[in-house]
């Protein structure tokens, strides 16, 4: 808040104050002058420069997340090969959570991070097949902070919906520069990136505030460049910057100089994992690790550039920096002895680094054993910034602030749930419940009895080597029952109804229905040219649309069919053929509908890689 005492003296000099004391000498009523002062102070409050915000209550927030960087992909974690001096320094000068949990895969983690709620509450349950679209009814971290006066920006990976009303610009971000789908060059990404194959991470096509733009450079460098620009332009006001690198996610593309850093390192160094003798690395694993480590070192160098700018601008003292990753490593490599990797609810899939740094407010080189999670970050930021949570929008996470600022010694007891199935969650396939030091893991089907679950004491057995379920059957039964209660509650929420892409609005035209959001049992085979699927949409107005369907390959002569609800159009393709089919001026009608498309050539049916709908009335 502004210092009203100083502002009053500035705008009302001594002579005026003397006149105010002697208002009885004036003919105008005393209340007139009181009203003038009240209105003046109101004007000052509304027009004070952005640099006057209270950094004690509203620090700049820099949230950094990398993609598929595991707990062991840091020098600080004991990795004998990787070079991460900047992140290692950040870790040493931060408060760290040694047991920090995320979801086993990308999009669920991101939805929980943005909302403080379990991903299934938000409508997100998978990384594609329509499961990576977050409900627009959710209140995001960006929306909370923007409402509180922050300028908000995201650079990198969003992975929570690529079309209106699910894009970052629809969910509270003032500025966004993101790739589509779950990764650059994936089938759901912009087609121009997909067809580049092994060079898609260089000069990528991205979406800036909902508009496709061309960029120059390696993707992680591009995001950092724009993040630096964002900070420079907004250093005099509170800002929230979500820097969400898509590296080191596959495909493992990187600048040559970063690969060269690891190319000739002896094989035996990669095999060092003294905490877990089960970690066996093949030659392919080692080659992949070299590339991952090069991609992480590139991020480390980029963060050095970013942190230097923050220091040079003199805003480090009022900038909270948080670093996490979105899940465990995608492939087999050093992981500090943790069991399994990405996709699994064992520790190696869901336990990640978590560093919190705010000079003068959060202790440096402090480590907490209390279990914490992605769902806790939003409640913590709300606590720091004195922002009330929405009453109609209950949070699953808790604030970590009392622990971080030293006013508390421990977190309140609670249980944390982890799960992931390709599709909607299924009991008891790949689920885990942590309660205190106990962790229950289910890897079977819904018919499995409680006795088939594994139970671990993470205090005595942090690497999950010893199943003690047979020793504590009552504990297993009780924890399974609590998971059942959680599951029954979570799957009964309106956000699991189809999240519908809006077609025919002024917010987005044309609308591109991409492969990441295709639904149906075959849509899981998202690189299969024959994997037919559909999209859930809401068409806003009756109008004519130009329909474009692009296929993975030129299917040759045959028949192309487009269907939206009960509207179906088929055209014959012969002569010169192409992988792109256009159906001009197809009249569609308003309402919730299912959109499909396919190409029939002989006995073969081909699915489109995307369908684009261009509203003619917006020309």
Assess whether 32 and 127 both reside in one domain: no
pLDDT at 462: 96
Instruction: Look at residues 260, 329, 275 and name the one whose alpha carbon lies nearest to residue 73.
Output: 329
Checking if the pLDDT of 9 tops 70, the result is no
Res. 590 pLDDT band, cuts 50 70 90: very high
How is residue 303 written in tokens? Answer: 């963060």
Residue 421 lies inside a defined structural domain of this protein: no
- Cα diameter, the chain: 100
Question: Residue 128: which pLDDT band, with cuts at 50, 70 and 90?
Answer: very high
Of 176, 321, 325, 162, the C-alpha closest to 249 is 325
| Cα 152 from Cα 105, distance rounded (Å) | 25
Distance, CA of 342 to CA of 250 (rounded, Å): 12
- Higher-scoring residue by pLDDT: 22, 191: 191
Q: Chain-wide mean pLDDT for the chain? A: 90
pLDDT band of 273, cuts 50, 70, 90: low
Domain identity same for 159 and 116: yes
**Cβ(565)–Cβ(524) below 8 Å:** no
Q: Which of 472, 495, 518 is the last residue of a domain?
A: 495
51 burial via Cβ count (<10 Å: 0-12, 13-18, 19+)? exposed
Which of 495, 525, 553 delimits the end of a domain? 495
Indicate the residue among 460, 495, 530 that finishes a domain.
495
Which candidate, 339, 324, 350, 340, places its Cα nearest to that of 432?
Answer: 350
pLDDT class of 38 with cuts at 50, 70, 90: very low
Which helix (H) or strand (E) segment holds residue 342: the answer is none
Q: Are 249 and 183 spatial neighbours (Cβ–Cβ below 8 Å)?
A: yes
Average pLDDT over residues 461-486: 95
Window from 27-36, 216-225, 297-306, 425-434 with minimum mean pLDDT: 27-36
Could you tell me if 438 and 292 lie in one domain?
no
Over the stretch 399-423, which tens digit does the pLDDT of each residue have?
A: 999 999 999 889 998 999 999 999 8
Give residue-wise pLDDT tens across range 185-206. Answer: 999 999 999 999 899 999 999 9
pLDDT for residue 616: 73
Confidence of residue 450 (pLDDT cuts 50, 70, 90): low
Same domain membership, residue 230 and residue 88:
yes
Name the DSSP letter for residue 505.
Answer: B
Checking if the pLDDT of 543 tops 80, the result is yes
Same domain, 350 and 202: yes
**Phi and psi dihedrals of 215, rounded to 5?**
-125, 165
**Chain position carrying tokens 């209106």:** 164
Question: In the predicted model, is pLDDT for residue 524 greater than 60?
Answer: yes
Inside any domain, residue 414: no
pLDDT bin (cut points 50, 70, 90) of residue 146 is very high
Tell me: pLDDT of 28 over 70. Answer: no
Interval 359-387: pLDDT, tens: 999 999 999 999 999 999 999 999 999 99
Look at residue 236 in the predicted model and tell me its pLDDT.
Answer: 95
Residue 571 lies in a domain: yes
| CATH code: domain of residue 468 | 3.30.1120.10
pLDDT band at 392 (very low <50, low <70, confident <90, very high): confident
Residue 464 φ then ψ, to 5°: 55, 50
* pLDDT higher than threshold 70 for residue 102: yes
Least confident of 309-318, 427-436, 570-579: 570-579
* CA–CA separation, 180 and 159 (whole Å): 7
Rounded (5°) CA angle 579-582-583: 145
pLDDT at 397 over 50: yes
What per-residue confidence (pLDDT) applies to 421? 92
The pLDDT of residue 576 is 80
Residues 248 and 327 both lie in one domain: yes
Residues 454 and 389 in one domain: no
Is residue 419 domain-resident?
A: no
481: phi then psi, degrees, rounded to nearest 5: -60, -40
Question: Do residues 568 and 467 both lie within one domain?
Answer: no
Q: Which domain holds residue 190?
A: 60-409
Are 287 and 323 within one domain? yes
Question: Which sign, positive or negative, has the C-alpha torsion 362, 363, 364, 369?
Answer: negative
Neighbours of 304 (CB within 10 A): 14
Instruction: Kindly report the CATH number assigned to the domain that includes residue 579.
Output: 2.60.120.260
Residues 237 and 350 in one domain: yes
pLDDT for 150 beyond 70: yes
Residue 51 has pLDDT above 70, yes or no: no
The pLDDT value given to residue 55: 67
88, 78 contact by CB (below 8 A):
no
- Structure tokens that stand for 72 in this block: 């062991």
Residues 611, 511: Cα–Cα separation, whole Å: 8
Query: Residue 69 domain-assigned?
Result: yes
Residue 416 domain flag: no
What pLDDT is attached to residue 272? 65
Residues 304, 396: one domain?
A: yes
Proportion of the chain above pLDDT 70, given as a percent: 89
**Cβ contact 605:599 at 8 Å:** yes
What is the predicted pLDDT for the residue at 279? 62
The total number of structural domains in the chain stands at 4
Q: What angle do CA 176, 141, 406 make, to 5 degrees?
A: 125
Q: CA-CA distance, 492 to 370, in Å (whole number)?
A: 30
The number of residues in the chain equals: 619
Residues 6+ away with beta carbon under 8 Å from 117: 111, 138, 375, 393, 394, 395, 396, 397
In a domain, 415, yes or no: no
Residue 61 has a pLDDT of 98
Do 448 and 390 sit in the same domain of this protein? no
Residue 240 has pLDDT above 90, yes or no: yes
DSSP 229-249: HHHHHHTTS-EEEEEE--TTS
SS (H, E, C) 426-492: CCCEEEEEEECCEEEEEECCCCCCHHHCEEEECCCCCCCCCCCCCCCHHHHHHHHHHHHHHHHHHCC
**pTM confidence score:** 0.90
Which pLDDT does position 278 carry in this prediction? 57
535 within some domain: yes
Q: What is the CATH number of the domain that holds 120?
A: 3.40.720.10
Determine which of 72-76, 190-194, 245-249, 275-279 has the lowest per-residue pLDDT on average. 275-279
pLDDT higher than threshold 60 for residue 14: no
Nearest to 539 by CA among 509, 494, 581, 579: 509
pLDDT over 70 (residue 39): no
């Amino acid at each position: 808040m502004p210092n009203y005492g100083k502002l009053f003296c500035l705008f009302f000099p001594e002579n005026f104050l003397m006149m105010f004391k002697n208002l009885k000498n004036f003919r105008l009523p005393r209340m007139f002058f009181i009203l003038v002062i009240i209105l003046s102070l109101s004007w000052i409050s509304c027009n004070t420069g952005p640099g006057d915000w209270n950094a004690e209550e509203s620090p700049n927030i820099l949230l950094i997340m990398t993609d598929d960087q595991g707990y062991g992909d840091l020098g600080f974690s004991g990795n004998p090969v990787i070079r991460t001096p900047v992140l290692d320094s950040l870790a040493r000068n931060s408060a760290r959570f040694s047991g920090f949990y995320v979801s086993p895969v990308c999009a669920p983690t991101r939805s929980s991070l943005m909302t403080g709620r379990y991903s299934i509450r938000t409508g997100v349950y998978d990384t594609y097949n329509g499961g990576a679209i977050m409900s627009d009814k959710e209140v995001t971290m960006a929306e909370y902070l923007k409402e509180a006066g922050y300028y908000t920006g995201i650079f990198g990976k969003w992975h929570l919906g690529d079309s209106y009303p699910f894009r970052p610009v629809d969910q509270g971000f003032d500025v966004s520069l993101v790739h589509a789908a779950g990764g650059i060059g994936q089938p759901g990404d912009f087609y121009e990136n997909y067809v580049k194959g092994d060079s898609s991470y260089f000069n990528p096509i991205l979406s800036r505030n909902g508009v496709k733009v061309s960029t120059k450079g390696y993707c992680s460098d591009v995001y950092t460049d724009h993040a630096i620009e964002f900070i420079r332009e907004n250093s005099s006001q509170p800002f929230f910057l979500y820097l969400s690198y898509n590296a080191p996610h596959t495909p493992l593309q990187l600048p040559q100089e970063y690969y060269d850093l690891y190319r000739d390192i002896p094989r035996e160094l990669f095999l060092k994992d003294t905490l877990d003798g089960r970690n066996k690395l093949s030659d392919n694993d080692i080659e992949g690790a070299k590339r991952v480590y090069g991609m992480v070192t590139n991020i480390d160098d980029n963060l050095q550039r970013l942190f230097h700018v923050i220091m040079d601008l003199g805003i480090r003292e009022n900038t909270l920096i948080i670093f996490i990753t979105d899940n465990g490593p995608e492939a087999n490599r050093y992981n500090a002895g943790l069991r399994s990797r990405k996709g699994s609810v064992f520790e190696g899939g869901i336990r990640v680094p978590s560093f919190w740094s705010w000079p003068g407010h959060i202790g440096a080189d402090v480590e907490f054993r209390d279990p914490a999670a992605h769902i806790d970050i939003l409640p913590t930021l709300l606590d720091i910034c004195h922002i009330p949570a929405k009453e109609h929008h209950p949070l699953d996470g808790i604030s970590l602030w009392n622990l971080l600022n030293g006013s508390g010694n421990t977190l309140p007891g609670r249980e944390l749930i982890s799960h992931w199935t390709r599709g909607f969650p299924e009991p008891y396939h790949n689920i885990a419940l942590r309660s205190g030091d106990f962790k229950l893991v289910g890897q079977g089907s819904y018919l499995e009895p409680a006795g088939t679950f594994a139970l671990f004491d993470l205090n005595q057995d942090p690497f999950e080597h010893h199943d003690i379920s047979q020793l504590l059957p009552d504990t297993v039964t009780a924890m399974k029952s609590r998971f059942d209660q959680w599951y029954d509650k979570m799957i009964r929420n309106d956000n699991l109804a189809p999240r519908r892409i809006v077609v025919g609005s002024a917010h987005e035209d044309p609308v591109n229905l991409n492969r990441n959001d295709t639904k149906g049992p075959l849509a899981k085979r998202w690189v299969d040219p024959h994997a037919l699927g559909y999209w859930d949409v809401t068409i806003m107005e009756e109008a004519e649309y130009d329909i474009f369907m692009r296929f993975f390959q030129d299917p040759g002569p045959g028949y192309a069919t487009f269907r939206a609800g009960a509207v179906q159009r088929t055209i014959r393709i012969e002569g010169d053929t192409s992988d792109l089919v256009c159906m001009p001026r197809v009249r569609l009608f308003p309402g919730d509908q299912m959109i499909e498309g396919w190409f029939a050539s002989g006995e073969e049916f081909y699915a489109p890689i995307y369908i684009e709908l261009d509203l003619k009335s917006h020309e």
